[in-house]
Amino acid sequence: MLPAGAMLAAILIFVAGALPARADGVRLPVLWDSKERLVKPDLSGLTRLRFLTTTDFPPFNYLDSEGRLSGLHVDLARAICAQLAIADKCQIQALPWGELETALAKGDGEAIIAGLAVTAENRAKFAFSRPYLRFPARFIMAKANASAEPLTTTLAGRRVGVVAGSAHEQLLRDNFSGVQAVAFERQEQLLSDLKAGKIDAAFGDGMRFGFWLASRDAADCCRFAGGPYLAPEYLGSGLSIAVTPENEKLATAFDAALQQISANGAFTELYLRYFPVSFY
């Protein structure tokens, strides 16, 4: 394992080099090598493509106010089908979370797009596309006191809250040893103490922090500071699409489509539709 300083440097270099800015200032990590040419497999023999998802993972998949299946995953599945020129063969079906794996194994669907974790255990059961979205760790601070990079220096000796027992706590303690880590049992208390000025900063999941920053509860008190930090060895590889091992060709087709959707800006547009406060 890399020493803490080297590990942090690697994280920072990866993030800094992977976040080109758009004209509106929004940055997303580039997860695809622009020099790599991914060839789309021949899908002419595919009779239908059924994406399986759930209704309880907003903003990725949920039922809107009119009861329609909606979310980033739903729109992304449609974009993939359009990119692969098989829109007429595509369907999206929602099931309870506990039924997804069984339905895929039984052939009641061809792919799961619902945030199934890419773990060693799941890799033994499924083939996965490459990740299309990763969740960074972020610091948030009161707007009046927000610090800039390098936060290893500017936060030295200051009280930083983090959820106890989380991967973010381990990341903070391993790579920001100069801060005074304050562990909280619940994120709600962590955010309440940050808003009240009882801690200097909070460290955790950028997506959850983004939703809180945009909420009434935050009352416009705080903002992101420094970062973002992408650390797959702590936080996982991100979101991917799962298929059965014997259907790995389909995962390869998804990779080719996802690369193009990223390159032409379509994924960024979907991201901003569901995350108006960007967590990058």
Q: Spell out the residues 6+ positions from residue 224 whose beta carbon is closer than 8 angstroms to its own.
A: 138, 139, 140, 146, 206, 209, 210, 213, 279
Neighbours of 42 (CB within 10 A): 9
Q: Are strands 201-205 and 159-163 parallel, antiparallel or unpaired?
A: parallel
Q: Is residue 37 part of a domain?
A: yes
20, pLDDT greater than 70: no
Q: Spell out the residues 6+ positions from residue 82 whose beta carbon is closer than 8 angstroms to its own.
A: none
Q: Are strands 49-53 and 90-94 parallel, antiparallel or unpaired?
A: parallel
User: Per-residue pLDDT tens for 98-114?
Assistant: 999 999 999 999 999 99
Cis peptide upstream of residue 59 (ω within 30 degrees of 0)? yes
Tokens describing residue 133:
């979205």
- Nearest-5° angle of CA 134, CA 62, CA 126? 50
Are both 214 and 250 inside the same structural domain? no
Yes or no: say if 82 and 204 are a contact pair by the CB < 8 Å rule.
no
Query: How many domains, the chain?
Result: 2
Task: Output the pTM of the full model.
Answer: 0.86
For 62-82, what is the mean pLDDT?
96
Are both 157 and 224 inside the same structural domain? yes
Could you tell me what percent of the chain has a pLDDT over 70? 90
Q: Is residue 143 part of a domain?
A: yes
What pLDDT band is residue 37 in, cutting at 50, 70 and 90? confident
Are both 141 and 86 inside the same structural domain? no
Are both 112 and 166 inside the same structural domain? no
Q: Are strands 56-57 and 61-63 parallel, antiparallel or unpaired?
A: antiparallel
What pLDDT band is residue 25 in, cutting at 50, 70 and 90? low
Q: Is residue 266 part of a domain?
A: yes
User: Per-residue pLDDT tens for 159-180?
Assistant: 999 999 999 999 999 999 999 9
Query: What is the per-residue pLDDT for 13?
Result: 37
Are both 260 and 128 inside the same structural domain? yes
Which range of 17-31, 188-202, 224-238 scores highest in mean pLDDT? It is 188-202
Are both 187 and 56 inside the same structural domain? no
What pLDDT band is residue 24 in, cutting at 50, 70 and 90? low
CATH label of the domain that carries residue 96:
3.40.190.10
Are both 212 and 244 inside the same structural domain? no
Q: Is residue 14 part of a domain?
A: no
Q: Is residue 13 part of a domain?
A: no
Distances from the Cα of 117 to the Cαs of 120, 134, 173, 211, 239, in angstroms?
9, 12, 24, 22, 7
For 129-149, what is the mean pLDDT?
93
Q: Are strands 61-63 and 69-70 parallel, antiparallel or unpaired?
A: antiparallel
Are both 218 and 249 inside the same structural domain? no
Q: Name residue, tokens 């052939």.
A: 107
Are both 182 and 264 inside the same structural domain? no
Q: Are strands 222-229 and 180-184 parallel, antiparallel or unpaired?
A: unpaired
Are both 264 and 216 inside the same structural domain? no
Higher pLDDT, 43 or 21: 43
Ranges 34-38, 53-57, 97-101: which has the least confidence: 34-38
Q: Is residue 257 part of a domain?
A: yes
Q: Is residue 20 part of a domain?
A: no
Are both 129 and 245 inside the same structural domain? yes
For 185-211, what is the mean pLDDT?
97
Q: What are phi and psi of 142, to 5 degrees?
A: -60, 140
CA 145 to mean position of chain CA atoms: 27
Q: Is residue 279 part of a domain?
A: no
Handedness of CA 239, 241, 244, 246 (dihedral sign): negative
Of 106, 115, 41, which is closest to residue 74 (Cα–Cα)? 115
Query: What is the per-residue pLDDT for 8?
Result: 53
Range of the domain at 191: 137-235
Query: What is the per-residue pLDDT for 6?
Result: 45
Are both 32 and 129 inside the same structural domain? yes
